[in-house]
Amino acid sequence: MVRIRFAAASGRRLALAMAALLLAACESPRGFDRAVGEEPVYFDQATPEQRDSAARLVGEGLLRGSGTYRLQPGDRVEVFYHTNNQRLRPYRIGIGDELELDFDFNRDLNRTMVVRPDGMISLPGKGEVRAVGLTPSALSGEVARRFEDVARSPVVTVIVRRFTTPAEDLAEVVRNGADGRARTALVRPDGLIDLPLAANIPAAGMTLNELSAELNARYAREVGGVTVTARLSQIAANQIFVFGEVRQAGAIPAPSPRTLLQLVAAAGGPMPTGAMDQVRVLYFDAVGRPRVRQVNLERVLNDLAVEEDMVVPPNATVWVPPTQVARVGRFVDQVIRQIFLFNGTSISFNYGNTFRFPN
């Protein structure tokens, strides 16, 4: 209960003005999400389908955990490699392959050679030709064209006697690693990770599913015959900072996904002066843009409005503001009290839920 007693008529008018201010502030605040330079998106304007989708996203973030978690620098990712010996695309010559060249128009030219590290092979009397990346039939045609000046419609057959596919190279690299068929990679401070035959992958900001898709696309393009799956082996020292009208303000470790309501609870819960209907979160989205979100946690608790809650991203800041009653009370404590004390007038103020003014 709040009791304010003013000995002067001016104090009575000031009290009535404060009461009007409090009544004007009783309207329920609107929850919203807004990025820099954008108009706010209000939750009360969302369609039922949008609310259901947002609620499912919160549930998936908690139940599936790392499935919706976005990687950040300092995280460790374990990547499992699966090789497939079936090759559905034409074989392309690689470095170190042993080739047999058969010249049907002049058997004296027949020879066996190895593709050099620069990807080239040497032809008798015709210089060098690039072999790496070509199919055997394409290389056969290229070599035959080099000898059109000495033979009519020359035919050259290229036979790959010994080959090592990029997939086998990769499998050998992985087999020789300390982790067997898996490799562990650290997300560097620049957000990149390095893996065998796949360096500088921009992992920060990706989910594990997105990272797996990116790696599979890279290996399919450059290696073939290899698929991977990724899992989160260690989360960086993620902290979320909670301050304002909570019992234990400070940095809260968040080794696993947590909702805004859970974080406020982890901070000891709100104080009686905390406005749970106006909790704000400053965070960064998947592309690094700063965003602010105001959440009515009272609706989340009382009306199961889970769509207004959120799984708080790493290194976000949560603020539980004071209620309007608390703000006015502090205004009285910090300003009005000093004015009346200076004029020799007594004033008392206690926090509560109702107001009583002198008649």
Per-residue pLDDT tens over the stretch 136-153: 999 999 999 989 888 888
pLDDT band (50, 70, 90) for residue 321: very high
For residue 182, which phi and psi values (nearest 5 degrees)? Answer: -120, 155
Report DSSP letters for 137-192, one per residue.
HHHHHHHHHHTTTTSSS--EEEEEEE---HHHHHHHHHHTSTTTTEEEEE--TTSE
Lowest-confidence segment of 76-90, 91-105, 144-158 by average pLDDT: 76-90
pLDDT at 186: 92
Lowest-confidence segment of 222-226, 239-243, 257-261 by average pLDDT: 222-226
Report DSSP letters for 56-100, one per residue.
HHHHHHHHTGGGTPPP-TT-EEEEEEEE-----S-----TT-EEE
pLDDT at 166: 61
Strands, E, within the chain: which ranges?
Answer: 2-3, 32-35, 41-42, 76-83, 98-103, 111-114, 120-123, 127-130, 156-162, 182-186, 192-195, 198-202, 226-234, 239-244, 250-253, 279-284, 290-295, 317-320, 355-356
- Domain 166-234, CATH 3.30.70 — does that match? no
For residue 197, which phi and psi values (nearest 5 degrees)? Answer: 60, 20
pLDDT at 359: 45
Q: Which amino acid is at 234?
A: Q
pLDDT digits (tens, 9 = 90+) for 158-200: 998 887 666 566 655 555 554 557 888 999 989 999 988 788 9
pLDDT at 221: 79
Query: Across all residues in the chain, what is the average pLDDT?
Result: 79
Instruction: State the span(s) of the chain assigned CATH 3.30.1950.10.
Output: 98-162
Instruction: State the span(s) of the chain assigned CATH 3.10.560.10.
Output: 1-68+237-359
| CA torsion through residues 179, 183, 187, 190, sign | positive
pLDDT band (50, 70, 90) for residue 350: low
Among 3.20.20.80, 3.40.50.300, 3.30.1950.10, 3.40.30.120, name the CATH number for the domain at 98-162. Answer: 3.30.1950.10
pLDDT at 157: 92
pLDDT of 226 over the 90 cut: no
Measured CA to CA, the distance from residue 334 to residue 338 in angstroms comes to 7
pLDDT band (50, 70, 90) for residue 73: confident
Higher pLDDT, 25 or 199: 199
- Give the tokens for residue 76: 């460790």
For residue 291, which phi and psi values (nearest 5 degrees)? Answer: -135, 155
pLDDT band (50, 70, 90) for residue 340: low
Distances in Å between the Cα of 268 and the Cα atoms of 241, 308, 314 are 13, 21, 20
Report the candidate in 229, 245, 94, 239 with the shortest Cα–Cα distance to residue 160: 94
User: Which pairing describes strands 290-295 and 279-284: parallel, antiparallel, or unpaired?
Assistant: antiparallel
| CA torsion through residues 205, 182, 76, 201, sign | negative
Q: In terms of CATH architecture, what is 1-68+237-359?
A: Roll (3.10)
pLDDT of 341 over the 90 cut: no
pLDDT digits (tens, 9 = 90+) for 110-120: 989 999 989 89
pLDDT digits (tens, 9 = 90+) for 42-57: 888 888 888 888 888 7
pLDDT of 278 over the 90 cut: yes
pLDDT of 358 over the 60 cut: no
Higher pLDDT, 111 or 6: 111
pLDDT at 72: 84
Contact 126, 147 (CB under 8 A): yes
Measured CA to CA, the distance from residue 52 to residue 44 in angstroms comes to 13
- Give the tokens for residue 36: 């820099």
Instruction: Please identify which residue in the block is written with the tokens 């982890």.
Output: 266
| CA torsion through residues 51, 55, 58, 64, sign | negative
> Is residue 190 classed exposed, middle or buried when 0-12, 13-18 and 19+ CB atoms within 10 A define those classes?
exposed
pLDDT at 233: 82
pLDDT at 228: 87
- Give the tokens for residue 112: 């066996």
Higher pLDDT, 17 or 229: 229
pLDDT band (50, 70, 90) for residue 281: very high
pLDDT at 284: 84
pLDDT band (50, 70, 90) for residue 295: very high
Angle between helices 9-24 and 324-331 (to 10 degrees): 160
- Of the chain, the percentage scoring pLDDT greater than 70 comes to 76
Higher pLDDT, 99 or 174: 99
Contact 147, 164 (CB under 8 A): no
